[in-house]
């Protein structure tokens, strides 16, 4: 192949790759990972075809319930804020409009995981007595020794 043909082939290859990249980028056909910091929370998610994949939002924190819950709630708020900000911009290009639609759809449809973990409440005196009685009933069923039966009667008040 002569140098001119090689140069022309390289030019065609570059132009066709650029067109393909622009098309893939505009249609968002590949899975794209995002990591955004919002209110001191690192929110990771993926999107494809201009739709956020709900199961990917904060998926790196799924094993830590409280952090995962906080992250998903922050993500919902972030999607709403981004929707509001992008929707208020007048001169958005096609990519900006696609992002705006993506975040607005996520703002409406994404359901965060809400988890509240609290300290267990203290048992009342009556609950403690019932627990002790049930334990002694179980022991009495396993062995009918006089000491066990006596302890059962004392615990249960019978």
Query: Tens-of-pLDDT digits for all 158 residues of the chain?
Result: 555 456 545 544 554 444 444 444 556 778 899 999 999 999 999 999 899 999 999 999 999 988 999 999 999 999 999 999 999 998 888 888 999 999 999 999 999 998 877 777 888 888 888 888 888 888 888 877 888 888 888 888 86
Residue 22: the pLDDT is 46
20-23 long-range Cβ contacts below 8 angstroms, 24+ apart: none
The one-character DSSP state at 157 is T
This prediction's pTM: 0.61
Closest by alpha carbon to 48, among 65, 64, 66, 27?
Answer: 27
What dihedral angle (degrees, nearest 10) is formed by the CA atoms of 42, 46, 50, 55? -100
Q: 3-state DSSP call for residue 49?
A: coil
Residue 8: the pLDDT is 43
Token readout for 31 is 């899975």
Residue 15: the pLDDT is 47
Residue 1: the pLDDT is 53
């Amino acid at each position: 192949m002569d140098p001119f043909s090689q140069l022309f082939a390289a030019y065609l290859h570059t132009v066709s790759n650029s067109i393909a990249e622009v098309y893939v980028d505009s249609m968002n056909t590949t899975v794209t990972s995002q990591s955004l910091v919002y209110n001191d929370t690192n929110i990771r998610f993926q999107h494809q075809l201009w739709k956020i994949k709900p199961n990917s939002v904060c998926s790196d924190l799924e094993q830590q319930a409280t952090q995962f819950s906080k992250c998903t709630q922050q993500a919902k708020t972030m999607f709403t804020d981004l929707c509001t900000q992008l929707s208020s911009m007048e001169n958005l290009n096609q990519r900006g409009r696609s992002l705006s639609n993506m975040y607005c759809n996520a703002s409406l449809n994404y359901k965060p995981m809400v988890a509240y973990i609290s300290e267990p409440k203290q048992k009342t005196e009556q609950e403690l007595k019932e627990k002790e009685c049930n334990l002694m009933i179980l022991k009495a069923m396993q062995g009918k020794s006089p000491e066990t039966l006596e302890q059962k009667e004392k615990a249960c008040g019978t």
